[in-house]
Amino acid sequence: MIPYLDLNSINKRYQGQFAEAFEKFMERGQMILGDSLSGFEKDYAQYCGTQYCIGVGNGLDALRLIFEGYKIHGKLKDGDKVLICAHSYVATVLAVKQAGLVPVLLEVDPKTFNFDLDALNAVNDPDIKALLPTHLYGDVSPMEAIWVLAQERGWLVIEDAAQAHGAVGVHGKRAGNLAHAAAFSFYPTKNLGALGDGGAVTTNDPELAQCIAYLRNYGSGQKYYNKYSGFNSRLDELQAAFLAIKLKDLDRDNARRIAIAQRYHDQVHNPKIVLPRPNFDGSHVYHLFVAQCEDREKLKAHLATAGIGTSIHYPVPPHRQEGLSELSHFEFPKTERLHETVLSLPMSPVMTDQEVDRVIQALNSFEL
């Protein structure tokens, strides 16, 4: 069996180092907001090329705390609108909503899985104050075009970089350093994944960074003194220590993902299967390798019979989710079609060449 994602094998590589980190953790006795967190924050800021990194509880909170920080600084207010691509994970929409802002969805370009730039350029609503591009599947959003437009309209730009650790965007800058602020998730399946929940905000804005450092800790910079009405969302010491270990190999792991993606591209020749556009220059770190097929269920079943696991990202778009009925008036035929055809193929840094061969053979032998 080739699993869709073998998390155990990914983490087993670090078992010895994790055990040492745990020993240190027990000796030190710092559970929350200690040296492991500040060490990882320094390392991750340096890796992304930003001045600041603030570790938080998860990616959803990272997004939400950015918006809350901007509200405190008067750059956003309740009811302001935020533009999001309709084809994203539901957390992108939930963060906007939870921060008291209004998500405005835009149709996807099915070739890039990102904003349709014509639709984006045509937006003309003075209540829109921010743009939240998702680097979906690990592919950096078209930041140059986004930035030009945002400057023209005076929008804040916040990256949802939850799936794009290490991806390199315009001018050689990494995801996390391509906008006013960025949110990362360290959910275990991510390219940089913890052994539980985790997240971070990166930014070069000192005021926002300090505000979020307080907000994640009940709004407090000094114990029992609360400058803001805050939250409890701190990246814990153990997860920070594990992430610091894994960060050292992130570039190597991403390079392996890109090499696998390139093999899929070079060797899958099946007209029934649409592969994502080729992009091997480091601006796509293949968190997911998402193909499309008119009869997805049949392809999924064919691969399962060949012992190959797959997944779907995502079966239902945010505006068709039961829990987001306020968005049900939106109609996005391209986005909705994508959700019926996308299929995520096995992709991980621990896949062997033989496993990649087997996936390629099975894809090539698929007939509708």
Ligand X SMILES: Cc1ncc(COP(=O)(O)O)c(C=O)c1O
Q: Report the residue number, 90 or 306, with the smaller CB distance to ligand X.
A: 90
Q: In this chain, which residue has its C-beta nearest to ligand X?
A: 59
Options 52-60, 289-297, 300-308, 350-358: segment touching ligand X (CB under 6 A): 52-60
CB of 299 to ligand X, least distance (A): 23
How many chain residues interact with ligand X (CB under 6 A)?
15
Which residue among 55, 103, 138, 199 contacts ligand X (CB under 6 A)?
Answer: 199
Q: Which tokens hold the place of 220?
A: 């407090």
Q: Work out whether 40 is an interface residue with ligand X (CB under 6 A).
A: no
**Out of 25, 44, 89, 155, the residue judged to bind ligand X by CB under 6 A:** 89
Interface of this chain with ligand X, residues 115 to 174, rule: CB under 6 A: 134, 160, 162-163
Do 8 and 349 form a contact (C-beta atoms < 8 A)? no
Give the residue, chosen from 59, 193, 317, 349, that forms a contact with ligand X under the rule CB under 6 A.
59
Find, among 175, 177, 194, the residue nearest to 185 by Cα. Answer: 194
Our CB check for ligand X shows the closer of 69 and 199 to be 199
Q: Are 103 and 96 in contact (CB under 8 A)?
A: yes
- The nearest distance, CB 162 to ligand X, in angstroms, is 3
Asked whether position 82 contacts ligand X by CB under 6 A, the answer is no
Give the residue with the Cβ less far from ligand X, 182 or 211. Answer: 182
Work out how close the CB of 136 gets to ligand X at its nearest, in angstroms, rounded to a whole number.
6
Q: Which of 69, 121, 78, 118 is nearest to 100 (CA)?
A: 78
Footprint of ligand X on residues 201-260 (CB under 6 A)? none
Q: Which of 187, 242, 286, 289 binds ligand X (CB under 6 A)?
A: 187
Q: Is 89 or 113 the residue whose CB approaches ligand X more closely? A: 89
CB of 174 to ligand X, least distance (A): 17
93 touches ligand X (CB under 6 A) = no
Q: Return the structure tokens found at 363.
A: 């894809």
Which parts of 324-363 interact with ligand X (CB under 6 A)? none
318 binds ligand X (CB under 6 A): no
- Between 21 and 56, name the residue whose CB sits nearer to ligand X: 56
User: Cβ 103 to ligand X, closest distance in Å?
Assistant: 13
Q: Does 185 bind ligand X (CB under 6 A)?
A: yes
Q: What is the distance between the alpha carbons of residues 157 and 150, in angstroms, rounded to a whole number? A: 7
Contact 327, 319 (CB under 8 A): yes
> Segment near ligand X (CB under 6 A), from 8-16, 86-94, 147-155, 239-247?
86-94
Closest approach of ligand X to the CB of residue 82, in Å:
14
Q: Which is nearer to ligand X, 187 or 366 (CB)?
A: 187
CB of 186 to ligand X, least distance (A): 7
> Rule CB under 6 A: which residues touch ligand X?
58-60, 88-89, 91-92, 134, 160, 162-163, 185, 187, 197, 199
